[in-house]
Amino acid sequence: MSLEKRREPKETESESILKESNFRQLDFTPLELKREKKDEVIEREIITEELMEIEKDILEIAKKILKLKRYSAAFNIQGKTKEEVQKFPIIEKLYAACISKLAYKKGYSKEDIFLGIRNLEKKYWIVTNERRTKLEILENERLMSILKFINKYPGIHARSEKIETELKITRTPFLKHAITLERFKLIRSKKIGKTLHYFPINTPEDFDELKALFTNSLVVKIIELILRDKDITISRLGEELNLYSGTIQYYIKKLRDANILTIQKQDDESKKLIIDQDLLKKYNEVFKDPPFVKIINELEHIS
């Protein structure tokens, strides 16, 4: 067998030109995904702008310290003195590491470092029982997809079919990740009836119950039918929606309890169903879906 070194094929002139060309496409990521990733980076930068330089420096060290399994991740240093912090070994370790790495290099005092750690906890950048910082949460694709999902569907609950169809996960991991997001104050939850609903953190709480009610498409259809036909009766609602009388009565009661619907008795003993349009308009100032205002404006334009 010949031991002669194998000759590499010569690169043609056209191949060489293509290799050096500035127009050669190396990244085949779809443009939409590129925009999303760019938006996420910008969003993270905006969020971290609220941090002072010392807090950003401490956060980088915290990313390593919080992962140390030999220390308990349970802590709450709000209102505590430096001496009391020693009750929380992981925070004491973080404090010591920050002094070692930042005091000389950046000129931060021990007091500045202590206050920086306290502020990070106050702003939920480090959280009791969590071994990740908020920065790591914001860099986690799965957690960010769930955060976007809750922003897209405020009032969503863990039994929603959308979780499996859009997020491609089951109820259990969704709940686990939702707990983490809530601990870092990125979302909030509210128990309405027997069900826990999830909302974006900055959404006002005034209309939570209505949002939860409107996650039922039948409720929305009933409201729309009454808005479009002011003379519609309860029995006709059942016919239109192909529902039993008892089912319609159940949803009518739900709407009355939520102060969306009132029933007026007429002179001929018939009952008139009246929707509080002003309440729906106020609701749409907070939540855009279902778009009741659009229907109301259409009907006002027709009349």
Question: What angle (nearest 5°) sits at the alpha carbon of residue 150, between those of residues 145 and 154?
Answer: 165
The reply to whether 211-302 shares the fold of 140-203 is: yes
What distance in Å separates the CA atoms of residue 273 and residue 240, rounded to the nearest whole number?
Answer: 15
Q: How far apart are the first and last CA of the chain?
A: 95
CATH for the stretch 140-203: 1.10.10.10
Q: Reply yes or no on domain 211-302 having CATH 1.10.150.20.
A: no
pTM attached to this predicted model: 0.77
User: What is the residue extent of each domain of the chain?
Assistant: 33-130, 140-203, 211-302
Q: Which residues contact 254 (CB under 8 A, 6 or more apart)?
A: 213, 219
Q: What is the pLDDT along the chain (303 residues), one digit of tens a residue?
A: 444 444 555 555 555 554 454 444 555 555 555 555 555 554 555 566 679 999 999 999 999 999 998 888 888 888 888 888 778 899 999 999 999 999 989 999 999 999 999 999 999 999 999 999 999 999 999 999 999 999 999 999 999 999 999 999 999 999 999 999 999 999 999 999 899 999 999 999 999 999 999 999 999 999 999 999 988 988 899 999 999 989 999 999 999 999 999 998 876 767 889 999 999 999 999 999 999 999 999 888 776
